[in-house]
Structure 1
Amino acid sequence: MKKFLKITGFILAGLILILLLIYLVFTIKWHRESAANMELAGDEAPVLTANGYQFRDLNKNGKLDVYEDSRAPLEKRVENLISQMNLDEKAGLMFAHFLGMEQDGSLLEIPTFSDPFSFMTESTSGTILKKKMNHVQNLGGASAKVYATWNNNLQKFAERTRLGIPVTLISDPRHGTMAMPGASAEAKWISVWPSQLGLGAIGDTVLVREFGDIARQEYLALGIRLAQHPMADIATDPRWARINGTFGEDARLSAALTKAYIQGFQGDSLGPQSVACQTKHFAGGGPQEDGWDAHFKSGKGQAYPGDNFDYHLIPFTEGAFMANTAQIMPYYGVPKGQVKEEVGFSFSREMIQELLRDSLKFDGVVATDWGIISDMVVKDASAWGVEHLSEKERVKKVLDAGCDVFGGEYVTEHIIDLVETGEVSEERIDISIRRILRDKFRLGLFDNPYVDLDGVDIVGNPGFVRKGREAQRKSLVLLKNEGKLLPLSANTKIYLEGMEQKGLNEKFPQIVEDIDEADIIVQKLETPSSPPEGGSLLERLIPQGRLDFPKDEKEEILERTRSKPTITVLTIQRPPVIPEINAASKAVIADFECEDDIILELIFGKFNPSGKLPIEIPSSVEAVEKQLEDVPYDSENPLYPYGHGLSYSY
């Protein structure tokens, strides 16, 4: 045995040594690449004074160019800058990707284990100086001040490019208690709100606009100027992984809330105090065939068995466009039966140029969803319908379709090559460049992209936190209250299953550690999901597939539920199939990703529930399978119908 352990130790030591040597080799490589990139850096932009006004000399030529002059008309600034841009700079402007940061907000050059994602992204110098990209996203940050510091460092670094084009910081939703890889981030130091589906459960346009305005202020303080949200998709197939990111399955409610959301972020018009919205996913990503998500091959088709394509346009035509959304993001899927050439939305000229631009008159930026051209570490390219094309051919097809920005891609060389070989005209590239630059100028990034580090205290301030908690309370839906069990009396002892929020025991002394001592069980359940269909990392992380619990897990839940009076809290990312669990529970609450202490406040009657279901809760797997992917309210005998919600009778 000792000999075996000794040999095992030598093997492990050898493996560790090999890994360290590999990391050392790569570190040397990364340092050399960084040094080469840094040779491309110029000086920071000096300040010019003209007629008592100060301007940044972004191209460092010692004179005030039109594009540097905040007093000049928008279109003249745009055209002046385009006239000075070379093809490399135009190509870089059309790409967006993630970018790492150091723990103190410094620029990240060498990948670090403190930010594992940095091993999958380019260095700062590689992104900004070599690729000449200036749309980036980072969902981390140790604190608000660190994030704001990173923005300022990044903007100062961008000044060292030839023309000093500022960076646009992008963000997926980041105000919730839960994160979905590739879709949203968990709130850390920012105010916490219910999921977008929870906002749908409230159904109040005034509150949603207030959320947008608060989020806008927090984003502005951090330096974030482009929100990759809201989702205007409609939740017509309950199996779809992105249900919790929608406002629900009613198109007109979704339209009204989408409009209010964008108005909160952008204001009445896009300006220096706005955060631009990139509304998604045109022309509606909800009707996924068999509910599988379009990130992956298993879900590449969007199905319309109810011939209901136009219903999914309503949140765009009556919501996003009415609010003048700055940008639009199409989804990955192939709209089956809706176009002559069945390809993914971003590759479809029929969908983008003919429908979105020509028919619906949208002339803002259209940015593809992330990773449709080249394979990523976390997933293969979602190049549905054009899998046979080369990367360069895919880029051309996206441009021909009418899109402007490539999300999650670094392949700037393909645009350069397409123009140099005459396959795409530079005039076509300039059409996209104008749209992109207009947003940067309108947001005031060319005039002042920096944030006041003393102003980051607004992020997560007590007033904003209080508003977020109020919204969480309003979003909770009381589905069942048998025998008026709720609200519980103050001396009721409860045992918790599935709740772990720090400080719960101090706030609620009724919590007991031993289930035998409890009067009531409170169990919190998340919507079940299936094992992944494919092998990609992202597919393993996104919950989709089945909505009912596996037999063994269900029996365990039922045994607990039947052992004592039980309150079941359903955290709804997708509507679960739980008829037996529902029947065994004395009370049932729908939770849209709220903090646990707020759920317990509801249980003990600190406030009266007022939320209404923005989706149906199906009664069986068979009912789910009979639903038409594109049709709302078609679940046969739902366990709880759309709009259901009880209140207390004191």
Structure 2
Amino acid sequence: MSVVKDRVPLHHDDTLELSRRVSQLQARMTLREKAGLMFHTMIAMGPRGRLADADPDYGLLSAEEMVQRRNMNHFNLITGVAAPAEMAQWHNRLQDLAAGTRLGIPVTLSTDPRHARSANPNTEVLAGPFSVWPEPLGLAATRDPALVHRFADIARQEYLAVGLRVALHPQVDLATEPRWARIVGTFGADPELTGALARKYIGGLQGPSLGPASVAAMTKHFPGGGPQRDGEDPHFADGQEQVYPSGRFAEQLLPFRAAIQARTSQIMPGYGMPVAAPYEEVGFAFNAAVITGLLRGDLAFDGIVCTDWGVLTDTEFSGERRPARAWGVQRLSPVHRAGRALDAGCDQFGGEARPDLVVELVRSGAVSQQRVDVSVRRLLREKFRLGLFDRRHVDPQIAEQTVGRADFRAAGLAAQRASVTLLRNAAPDCPARLPLRPGLRVYCAGVSRQLVARHAVIVDRPEDADVALLRLQAPYEPRTGPVEAFFHTGSLAYPPGQLAQILAVLDTVPSIVDIYLDRPAVLTEIAAHAAALLVTFAVGDEPLLDVLTGRDKPRGRLPFDLPRSMATVAAGRADVSFDDHDPLFRYGHGLDY
């Protein structure tokens, strides 16, 4: 009889109620199987939808090693540009691998955001075949909750088609420190707007309740990652401190309150450690007062808490040793860090593949089996709610038909156009007045000459043009290192040499300047010399030209203040929204025509 039970486990019987299925499966699990459930690390797709081999250069283990020998079944897919059918086939092969394990627990696949144009592989994935939308800052610039819900619902459908069931987003941190490199993934500086958009975003991903048609939302970075000291990022030791000079810790929580009210299924604590706040100065994943006291207790969150990636162990990346982001507990060994995080109230370890650490903690008596079971129950409960035990496979043909569907792409382009934000228009008698007249002689830089040529005569020198069109990247201070180089941080002002080159064009010919803002920028001189000034948030050339030429109109509004100088930025308080009393352009500014 026991042989029959092993072949047809009761937890695969979808006629049983959820709690009974969870209990029966949990009772059959060994300690090693439970420990494997508590780790959620990166995985890559092999060529043409095959399972990938290990890649020591990037610290990636093979699927066989993780699923069959380490009992793991939560993975973050980091592969970007791949055909949807191949992604679906790879997913199905991975699920087949998991089905062959002793209990046949299915895999839960997660993804970083993959619907925009960001070039930081540490925080996003290039859209590839998926529909392309503005960054969250651009969604915030539209101030349209219905549009945000539409985006999240389309992302849900595209994710489901290829088997992605957890979104490692939304990012609801507040952009209170304008130098922070992660502002591009936020909804800006306004707690009320961020909360409203977070509700719609989570609703679009999860639906009315978490179920087989849902993508679970992992909202981050609790309790709010915006107030970084000097804007440095906590991926790195220089950014480990979050500061609260005005004691506004509670304000950073407001978007998370909204997310919990919207029933976000998961929450990710940030890397940082609080300074000048009534909490221990250790990283939030290790902070019992923050996770158990505040999140579990005061905010009554009973979903999954998954740490940010790489808080336990040092790693090798591109031949360079990267220390664990174990801020405040660096002195502890990886096993003791794991114990601290479990004691704090975390359920799962992101970016780690070390189930042996949990096994060691339980066998040594440092962590009880009962404590592990609390987290295991939450993790199993979500797998059952998502319907993973009842339908393992996705259809490659449906994946090909769904991902990047024509109406999805059209909606993404419409959102890009809606997010274009016009800060200053040229005088009525100026040739750079928007919308542009057809047939002008245009000098352009940073934009497709081929697309501009549909509307204008392209010239090679500013002095031969009626109008110049420049697309620029917001300024930042380049950092060295294989990871650091992708984080745009430091000064918000253009270096003198680069600024002089820009102004030389603006002083030669009436100019339209568009700046891609992945965080605020000091644009005082450019605003004074440009005939027209726009800002965008990962908008393609074609939708921008639709707006510039009058096929559509700019409707965006600034999601944060734009400062006049770096002196005002340095004087600002990192935990306060809108702390600049005289910005160059204020939050909410935007013109139309």
TM-score relative to the length of structure 1: 0.87
Which residue of structure 2 lines up, in the alignment, with residue 568 of structure 1? 513
Deviations 1:397-433 (A, max 9, x none): 0000000110011121111101011110111001000
Equivalent-residue separation in structure 2 for 1:526 and 1:302 (angstroms): 27
Partner of 2:328: 385
Say which SS state the counterpart of residue 483 (structure 1) adopts.
coil
* C-alpha separation in 1, matches of 2:420 and 2:453: 23
1:143 aligns with 83
* Percent pairwise identity: 43
Match of 1:72 in 2: 16
Would you say the 8 A contact 1:99–1:118 is kept in 2? Answer: no
> Offset of 1:506 from its aligned partner?
6.3
Quote the residue 1:15 is aligned against: none
Matches within 5 A, 1:317-466: 317=257, 319-378=258-317, 379-456=322-399, 457-466=401-410
Q: Which amino acid aligns with 1:351?
A: V
Q: Are 2:125 and 1:185 equivalent residues in the alignment?
A: yes
C-alpha separation in 2, matches of 1:407 and 1:499: 38
Contact 1:329 1:369 in 2 (8 A): yes
Corresponding position: 1:297 with 2:297: no
**Deviation sequence 1:229-261 (CA, Å, 0-9, x none):** 001111111001011111111101100000000
Residue 162 of structure 1 corresponds to 102
DSSP-derived class of the 2:424 partner: strand
Q: Pick from 225, 228, 249: which aligns with 1:309?
A: 249
Corresponding residue SS for 2:535 = strand
Is residue 201 of structure 1 aligned with residue 150 of structure 2? no
- Give the aligned partner of residue 647 of structure 1: 592
Q: How many residues align structurally?
A: 582
Give structure 1 regions of 4+ aligned residues with deviation exceeding 6 angstroms.
Answer: none
Aligned to 2:553: 608
Check whether the contact 2:452–2:545 (CA below 8 A) recurs between aligned residues: no
Distance verdict in 2 for CA 1:512–1:449, change over 3 Å: farther
Residues 1:527 and 2:467 aligned together: no
Distance 1:449 1:410 in 2: 23
For residues 258-273 of structure 1, the aligned pairs below 5 Å read 258-273=198-213
- Equivalent position to 1:633, from 563, 575, 578: 578
Indicate the structure whose relative CO is greater, using CA pairs within 8 Å and at least 6 residues apart: 2
Deviation at 1:537, TM superposition (A): 2.4
Q: CA deviation at 1:334?
A: 0.8
- Counterpart Cα distance in 2 of 1:118 and 1:603: 45
Counterpart Cα distance in 1 of 2:538 and 2:558: 14
Residue in 1 aligned with 2:28? 84
Are residues 67 and 506 of structure 1, via their aligned partners in 2, closer, same or farther at CA, if it must alter by over 3 Å? Answer: farther
Give, as a single letter, the amino acid of the residue that structure 1 aligns with 2:292: Q
User: Which segment drifts farther, 289-298 or 323-332?
Assistant: 289-298
SS in 2 for 1:590: strand
Q: Which runs of 5+ in 2 are unaligned?
A: none
Residue in 2 that maps onto 1:22: none
Partner residue of 2:491? 546
Matching residue of 2:420: 476
Q: Please, what TM-score do these two structures have when normalized by structure 2?
A: 0.95
CA contact (8 A) 1:548 1:576 kept: yes
The residue matched to 1:224 in structure 2 has which SS? coil
- What is the alpha-carbon distance in structure 1 between the residues aligned to residue 6 and residue 332 of structure 2? 47
Matches of 2:157 and 2:396, distance apart in 1? 14
Write the deviation string for residues 559-606 of structure 1: whole angstroms up to 9, x where unpaired.
122121111101000111121111111101110101111111211111
Q: Distance in 1 between matches of 2:54 and 2:343?
A: 37
Amino acid at match of 1:137: N
RMSD: 1.7
Residue 468 of structure 1 deviates from its aligned partner by 0.7
Aligned equivalents of 2:61 and 2:226: distance in 1? 33
CA–CA distance in 1 between the matches of 2:530 and 2:510?
7
Do the aligned partners of 1:618 and 1:636 also contact (CA within 8 Å) in 2?
no
Pick the aligned partner of 1:495 from 443, 449, 458: 443
Label 1:451 to 1:511 Cα distance change in 2 as closer, same or farther (>3 A): farther
Taking the aligned partners of 1:133 and 1:142, their CA distance within structure 2 comes to 24
Structure with the greater alpha carbon radius of gyration: 1
